[in-house]
Amino acid sequence: MTGAPAAVTVRVDVPPAPYDVLVGAGILDEVADTVGERRRVALVSQARVAELYAARLLEALPSAELFLMGDGEDHKTIATVGDLARRFAAAGLLRDDAVVALGGGVVGDTAGFAAAVYHRGVDVVQVPTTLLAQVDSAIGGKTGVNLPEGKNLVGAFHQPIGVVADVATLTDLPAREYRSGLGEVAKYALLEGVGGELDTLLREEATAVLGREPTVLTDLVRRCATIKARVVAGDPEERSGSRATLNLGHTLAHALETAGRHRLTHGEAVAVGLVFAGALAEAMGRIDAATADRYRSLPAALGLPVRVPAGPDPTAADGASGGEDGAEVGSDALLTLMRRDKKAAGGFTFVLPGPGGVERVDDPPAGALARAFAAVGVRG
């Protein structure tokens, strides 16, 4: 597959205002059509991303002003939201204006939350520039920030008025950051099941996916966005429970991110969390060994870690081949963090595969948890 593909649209059919996810290469200028006529626009980004793309958006949005925030999860905080809100106020941003979030998940989550609470809600357009954000975090209206006690513990549902996913931006990502996005891609493929369209694409076009070929990336992002849009439309604010399936692999992942102070990227932590989920489901008799092996082999094939790395530098461990045991944080500390997970109902809550598909499971047996921890190299 070669050449730049035409843009494609995925509809997110949420009430009361459905919106589109536009996917393609070289489509950043389409943000202007999504924003429409506004008196003022706050373009929120980070320095590295802004250096690459802000000039194009500022040219396309004459009423926009650039607001920079810090890089990394350390800046995904209530303090950053407060700082953005004060700067919005100083610039005269009002309720009928708009926020444009240009960047990865940290920018999208933080700017989206700022938009949700500033003037009790202003419109936001998500312009994700990482694979992880394009396939997952920019879609569905989940916004939020971290606390020292856990990830995404403060937030709000605030659907964007549109998402513009320019896959050309993915060619500028560092290798590790691009690979991190494949953790969420693996999640969607496992949700879809063996033989699904995304699973088939990853099997048949693995080289092109890893090589960031534009046509394949457009198809990849479209398929992931379609899966998420379908789930979100059925449960926009996680009230029926069906949307919780999107958290496959995330219960352990969020605990690992918090415990390790984000030395693992989100996608890397999700990959380990997928292995954990498969092992836990197998230990509970919910799936067979072959299915559990798919939860390990798919992330590994995409170059993602499948065990918790030893030592302070997660990039030093050979995650795909297993690496060494010896994670810094033991299972007791991780269990404490997992009790604080947003899905928890007072005990431990996981999203696991089973005979009826992926579903929420509360309070698995201690022995099954021990086997799952062992599968990812975490000691008691």
Q: Are 317 and 324 in contact (CB under 8 A)?
A: yes
Q: Mind listing the pLDDT tens digit for each residue in 193-233? A: 766 889 899 989 999 999 999 999 999 999 999 999 999 99
How far apart CA 281 and CA 216 sit, in angstroms, is 32
Ordered by where they begin, the domains of the chain are 8-175 (3.40.50.1970), 248-375 (1.20.1090.10)
**Token pair for 203:** 């099997």
How far apart CA 282 and CA 277 sit, in angstroms, is 9
pTM of the complete model beyond 0.85: yes
**Token pair for 111:** 């700017």
**Token pair for 215:** 């046509």
pLDDT of 79 reads 98
pLDDT of 344 reads 57
Cβ partners under 8 Å of residue 241, min gap 6: 235, 360
Residue ranges in the chain modelled with pLDDT below 50? 1-3, 312-326
pLDDT of 106 reads 97
∠ at Cα 230 (228, 231), nearest 5°?
Answer: 65
∠ at Cα 109 (305, 349), nearest 5°?
Answer: 60
Q: Mind listing the pLDDT tens digit for each residue in 302-327? A: 999 999 987 544 433 334 434 444 45
Helix (H) or strand (E) holding 376: none
The separation between the first and the last C-alpha atoms of the chain, rounded to the nearest angstrom, is 47
Q: Are 309 and 327 in contact (CB under 8 A)?
A: yes
Helix (H) or strand (E) holding 250: helix 250-259
pLDDT of 196 reads 85
Q: For strands 19-24 and 162-166, give the pairing.
A: parallel
pLDDT of 331 reads 92
pLDDT of 5 reads 63
pLDDT of 342 reads 57
**Token pair for 365:** 């047996």
Of 268, 274, 217, give the one whose Cα is nearest residue 251: 274
pLDDT of 314 reads 42
